[in-house]
Amino acid sequence: MRTGDTQSPNSVPNIYLEIQTDTPEDVSSRVIKFHLDEQLYGGVYEFWLDNADSALSAKDYKGFKVDFELGFVDGTRSQYPTLWIEKQTFESVGGKLTMKLTCMDAWGLMSAVNSSVGAQYWNYPELAPGEEFADADYYDKTIKQIVTSVVTEALDATFAIDDDDSETYFGSLKPPISITNARTGIFQLMAMTDAYLLYKNDDDFHVIKASDHTSVHTFALSSNVFWESADETAITFPNRVVYHGKTALGVELDSGNNGLDATSYARIGIYIDEHYYASRMEIDLITDQTMLNSLASATILKLQGQASQGSLYAPMHCSLELLDCITVTDTRYSGTKTITGYCHRLIRDYEANEDIYTIRVSLGGVATAYTPGNGTPPIAKGSTEPPVSMKVTIPLTFLPAYLPCIIDIVFTAVDQDDISWAAGTIKTASGTIFTVSAGTLNLDDTANFYLYYNTTTGDHVLDTTQTFGDTIGAEKILVAFAKKGTTSSDKALVVAGTRGADLFIDELSAITANLGLITAGEIRVGTGTLGSNYTGWRMWVESSIGRFAGYNNNVLQFYSGTDGKLYAGGGSVFMDSTGLYIRGAGMLNLQYSGNPTYTATLNVNVSGNLVLDAYGDIILGGSATVNTYVAGDLEVTGVAYGLSGVVVPIYGESVSEDGSLEVAINAFFWYRSGGWHYAVDDTP
């Protein structure tokens, strides 16, 4: 119920009417009569304005918005939702010149929107070449999402859709529907729920589930006067609603008598059925019996609410609005007669100086609507089937076992004999989605375990078996198989089936099978991010050549090049078919295994000379071996081959062991022409 005045039979009416022209015009003082007919899917609002002075004769108000309020003098007026002037007529009534304004609400505006609103086809697969589904903006959408889009685009403005009563199906069902008229489309969509869409004075649309509300006002002879009431309780007709579903295998399901009005059936004696095919109300086949029963119960409840429950004629009630629950108490009966029902139609009348300021209320009844001259009447039970060109026919042989599918269930090997999986879905190429709950499995046997989904049960769990044949069937989808770990330190093996699930194991040792050839884009073992702070090694293919490398904080340490060479030391050391190379300032370091401090180095200096340095002596050996020598000496024993022309500089003091030669500091020692030679501070 709106805020503002309710009833005050002896008070003076207070009417406010302002036309929102470029400069708003308050014409309240000119209102001599109105007739307001509010209906669930669009009302008509007529106002007669005094034009005795012809001041309105040149006015053109068509299309402008109207602000309207009604109440009582010294009270608080109740505000109506925004109205629009559909047409204006100049009339002579009772010898008076008047202007008649015929107004409509937002429903009337939408009744004239006959183009493809938002999208003509919602939740339909697309058959155009190369396209799997229609535009994603119009597929996999709930009733709420479709209604919001249609209202917004039809009225070219943002209107909030407030789900006041959290209706069950408004935000969950995703029906295939063809919408060519905005109001009709919403009318049909709301028929799939147990609620209504009410346009209120905040200029938003509200989802109202009337059966959730209790009485907001009581009309009684002792207080709030009424003149006429009628208890017109009608039998619910039809008296049974049956919802039909179908499993993926094609097995028929129905809701039976869960949608039955028992009183109506008992009196009529036959079932007057209304059938709904759940597969036409949801993009996924409804295979859950509980869901079918719930839909049937909700629909019969809505039909019971629509059955005529009575009417009321009373002095004006200014704040009562559609879908309000009211109570009428009439003590004139032998035993008080009480009627409780929901307002499905409100008619308000006013005539100045005629003492007419009244309201008529229809409790229950089928939802009706006023249609402007260029509008389209709402079609209550329009077909939700697409045109033939859009219809997708799936042959009976295209059952889950024969269809490709995407499985997003994540499996985990917990330990040697336990696996688990997270909740996920199985989506077939036909668009059917099966929801699978999380679960666990204890592998109490060393034989294989097979996990599969049975599409006919609707229990959302994976079935398990150790007999592979149990997984075969038109209604079954193999998801994975699992095997107990070989030892207590081995994790169980869980492998996806052939239908696209992922494999998740904690250790490669859990895989005991011969995997044959393994192909991969790259194998990487390490930490950090490649290109930033990666440390570890990797194997990959570059320019059609297989490569491997080691990194430290993203710096190459060793690697194989695309030129067939092996590199180390950041590229300073490499090896190919011609030998081993050390570049730059690099040295060849040789260490004695018994003591790492005994190190000798070999490198080429900037002059191209070979520089040999050692912790101990440097020995050029021929056929003999010397086991003792003094650090810093250069000792040649036996026959030194191939030394002709080779100069050996000796830096530091050196004395030969045989006592025949003493070499001073900075001496050169060389072998030439069969003998040894030396020079001090000179070149040979």
Q: Are 669 and 648 in contact (CB under 8 A)?
A: yes
On the 0-12 / 13-18 / 19+ scale of CB atoms within 10 A, 422 is middle
Is 128 a residue whose pLDDT tops 70? no
**Proportion of the chain above pLDDT 70, given as a percent:** 73
Burial string for 481-500 (b: 16+ CB within 10 Å, else e) reads: bbbbbeeeebbbbbbbbebe
Q: Are residues 88 and 214 in the same domain?
A: yes
- Do 15 and 133 belong together in one domain? yes
- For 52-81, what is each residue's pLDDT tens digit? 999 999 999 999 999 999 999 999 999 999
Domain membership flag for residue 264: no
Q: What is the mean pLDDT of residues 629-652?
A: 40
Both 533 and 673 in one domain: the answer is no
Query: How many domains are contained in the chain?
Result: 4
Asked if residue 222 is part of any domain, the answer here is yes
User: Which one of 106-110, 116-120, 264-268 scores highest in mean pLDDT?
Assistant: 106-110
Q: Measuring CA to CA, which residue among 376, 39, 344 is closest to residue 184?
A: 376
Q: Does 189 map to a domain?
A: yes
CATH of the domain at 24: 2.30.300.10
Boundary of a domain, candidates 332, 359, 393 = 393
| Same domain (yes/no): 421, 504 | yes
Q: Which of 393, 428, 457 is the last residue before a domain boundary?
A: 393
Q: Identify whether residues 218 and 353 lie together within a single domain.
A: yes
pLDDT for 280: 52
15-24, 185-194, 225-234, 594-603: range with lowest mean pLDDT: 225-234
Mean pLDDT of the chain: 76
Give the separation between CA 345 and CA 354, rounded to whole angstroms: 24
Shared domain for 405 and 388, answered yes or no, is: no
- Displacement of CA 454 from its chain's centroid (Å): 25
Per-residue pLDDT tens over the stretch 162-214: 766 777 778 887 777 778 888 888 888 888 787 888 989 888 889 888 778 88
In this structure, is residue 486 part of a structural domain?
Answer: yes
Residues in the chain: 684
Q: Which amino acid, residue 570? A: G
pLDDT for the residue numbered 350: 96
Question: Is 33 part of a structural domain of the chain?
Answer: yes
Residue 500: band (very low, low, confident or very high) from pLDDT cuts 50, 70, 90: very low
The mean-pLDDT minimum among 95-99, 294-298, 513-517, 578-582 falls in 513-517
- pLDDT of 251: 66
Residue 89 — very low, low, confident or very high, per pLDDT cuts 50/70/90?
Answer: very high
Answer with the one of 373, 393, 413 that is the final residue of a domain.
393
Say if residue 90 is in the same domain as residue 196: yes
**Same domain (yes/no): 347, 458:** no
Domain match, 86 and 205 both? yes
Please list the residues that pair with 49 across neighbouring strands. 31, 99
- Give Cβ neighbours of residue 628 (< 8 Å, ≥ 6 apart): none
The residue ranges of DSSP E strands in 115-249, in sequence order, are 121-122, 161-162, 177-178, 196-199, 205-208, 217-220, 228-230, 240-246
Same domain, 576 and 664: no
Q: Is the pLDDT of residue 407 over 90?
A: no
pLDDT score of 63: 92
**pLDDT score recorded for residue 87:** 94
Which residue has better confidence, 129 or 464? 464
pLDDT band per the 50, 70, 90 thresholds, residue 641:
very low
Asked if the structure places residue 282 within a domain, the reply is no
| Amino acid found at 629 | Y
Give the pTM: 0.55
Nearest-angstrom CA–CA distance, 174 and 547: 52
User: What is the average per-residue pLDDT within 401-417?
Assistant: 84
pLDDT tops 80 at residue 454: yes
Residue 139 lies in a domain: yes
Are 648 and 577 within one domain?
Answer: no
Q: Which domain holds residue 482?
A: 400-510
Query: Do residue 132 and residue 222 come from a single domain?
Result: yes
Question: Is pLDDT at 396 greater than 80 in this prediction?
Answer: no
Asked if residue 36 is part of any domain, the answer here is: yes
